[in-house]
Amino acid sequence: MRAFLKLSTFDPMHETPTRCHVCDMNLPIFYYEWRPYDAAGEAHETEGFCCGRCAVDLVKKMEHGEAREWAAESAALHAEGVEFANVEEYERSAFAATE
């Protein structure tokens, strides 16, 4: 499973969205494609136009989802008695800013 977020600019001369498709309030500045996975591992793809604030929020959601996924995998490996201290250190460092 691999979640993804794709952000790109759009051509305001040919595409004229009037509202952010995420918050439904602000004017959009990006086109996005977003595929997160839910707790059951099901993918949910969406696409549309979003404002800058919502683009940042989507990145944060993906970061938090990835941190949860790493924690779950780490716990499963620990339960099996697998040692991987260097991966744990990487995980702590990578996701320190999400706490």
Where exactly are the structural domains of the chain?
A: 4-98
pLDDT at 98: 58
Full-prediction pTM beyond 0.85? no
**Alpha-carbon distance 12 to 50, whole Å?**
13
Return the residue matching tokens 């944060």.
60
Chunked mean pLDDT (size 10), the chain, 99 residues = 89 88 96 86 89 96 85 79 69 69
How far apart are alpha carbons 61 and 74 in whole angstroms? 20
What pLDDT is recorded for position 99?
A: 55
What is the pLDDT at residue 8?
Answer: 96
